[in-house]
Amino acid sequence: MYFIAVGLIGVTSSCSKFLEESTQSEVVPRSAESLNEYMMGDAYPNDFALHPEEPFLNDDIQMIAYKQNELMYPAYTWQPDMPEKIGGLVTVSSWRSCYAAIQACNTTLDYLPKMTGEQRFKDYVGGQAYLLRAFYYFNLVNLYGMPYNDPQTDPNKNLAVPLLISGGVESDYKSRNTVAEVYAQIETDLKEGIRLIEGSGQVYSKYRMGSEAGHLLASRIYLYMDKWNEVIQHTENLMAGAYKLMDLRNWGEVKPLEKPVISINNPETIWAFGTVGDVIVADSLVYRMSSELMSSYEDGDLRKGIYWSNGITRKLSTADIGAAPAQSFRLSEVYLNRAEAFAQLYKQGNVAAGQKCLDLLNALREKRLKEDKYVPWTLQTVGNDLLRHIHEERRREFYSEGGRWFDLRRYGMPKITHLSFSSASQAQKFVLQERDPSYVWPIPLRVIGLNPKIVQNPLAEIRQPQ
């Protein structure tokens, strides 16, 4: 199956491993269990990076040393030809990887009715496919389209990415759907995926995307859409579920190889996935946590030492690179998404929402700070600046977990400055201006070359040091 429709050639589905072809036109289906196994290999983000450039774009890191021919230099300096400069050196493409996984989801949904197996299990398999497809389109629309909540543009007019919702061969060229259309498809997929999995009654591991992960993703989607009541609705049951905030006060000795934060054994992990390709690990001698972020952790914050040390993440195990998950959906995001929604309602005049927001923030902070250093926030101390405190807490909590770039986009696309070493002793300053065109990624030229209906995003000029 070729993705000519979205400007890719050679992206194939390995579903044939589980489907027997009796003739060229007739497909003999096998079991839903086999299709479930196929999804783990082709639909889940377990052997490819979602957006490996993302950590180098945001303001959470800084370059600390010169390295000749540094691979991620085009991303770190926000160059408009980033896809070609990086893609020519590594076999990585967010566009390619996400659409290949979407194709696996579509193939699953197309073949599932023909599969043998109990309907409840088939619903569970289909539910995963819907949720994963929503997850990939969420990533794509936030890489290649304008932020949904941008006050100066219209999501009904802003172009995003083509929507493919069938696993069949697409020989016709597809044009880009709008940001609003992609978000509408995400909402539809989330609702259907959650409905199917919750109705299936299946028990699943944290390596599978279940209904709880669907609700968390939905809360994130609605946060990006400024739909505060929907954020609260989708986090309600998660607050009363089986997941618990990890208590760093009782963490004990820090042993990332034996007890990583990103792990299915973490009591707040809802879904564990991903590879180290989305996390800065290998080039720790070149990039570290930014001094600005480092200084924002207050005295007694236990995340210093447990989450990171010397500016390098300690959240994941690097003992089995490629085997252990590098990202996760965690209960702490539920708290922060919910807190932000209440803060927005408080800003609109709902007084009770302000205290609900603070209760959530303090519950999280209490588990992150030493007992003798923890002082609860009150409306009197932070009430006039709740959103800023939430955004800063979110940044501290999720350092190196891949969401900062998306957050910066929905915060208004602020100005960022990066210092880059041009030699062992010479540093240069590169600036990403407020609302810079590079806040929306350029579509790879190969994609445009293969599909004439795909229009390029507005590009910045080649960025020069200031």
Split the chain (466 residues) into runs of 10 and give each run's mean pLDDT: 57 45 43 95 91 92 88 92 74 84 96 96 98 98 98 98 83 91 98 98 95 98 98 96 95 86 95 82 78 97 95 79 81 98 97 97 98 97 94 97 96 97 91 98 92 95 95
Counting beta carbons within 10 angstroms of the beta carbon of residue 20, is it exposed (0 to 12), middle (13 to 18) or buried (19 or more)? exposed
Alpha helices in 145-302 (DSSP H): 179-200, 211-224, 228-239, 291-296
What is the CATH number that goes with domain 1-56+83-204+443-466? 1.25.40.890
Please report the pLDDT score of residue 242 as a whole number: 92
For 444-464, the DSSP string reads PHHHHHH-TTPPPPP-PPPP-
* Short-list 327, 132, 330, CA closest to 214: 132
Q: Which fold has domain 243-411?
A: 1.25.40
* Short-list 186, 169, 193, 185, CA closest to 110: 169
Let me know: does 50 contact 97? Beta carbons within 8 Å.
yes
User: Is the alpha carbon torsion for 150, 154, 156, 161 positive or negative?
Assistant: negative
> Please, what is the end-to-end C-alpha distance for the chain in angstroms?
47
Let me know: does 280 contact 318? Beta carbons within 8 Å.
no
Distance CA 341, CA 363 (A): 16
In the beta sheet, which residues pair with residue 327?
A: 273
Domain pair 1-56+83-204+443-466 / 243-411, same fold: yes
Structure-token pair, residue 347:
């800003």
Structure-token pair, residue 402:
């891949």
Cα 364 to chain center, whole Å? 21
Let me know: does 216 contact 135? Beta carbons within 8 Å.
no
Please report the pLDDT score of residue 28 as a whole number: 41
Instruction: Give the start-to-end residue ranges of the domains of the chain.
Output: 1-56+83-204+443-466, 243-411
User: Identity (one letter) of the amino acid at 135?
Assistant: F
Please report the pLDDT score of residue 373 as a whole number: 98
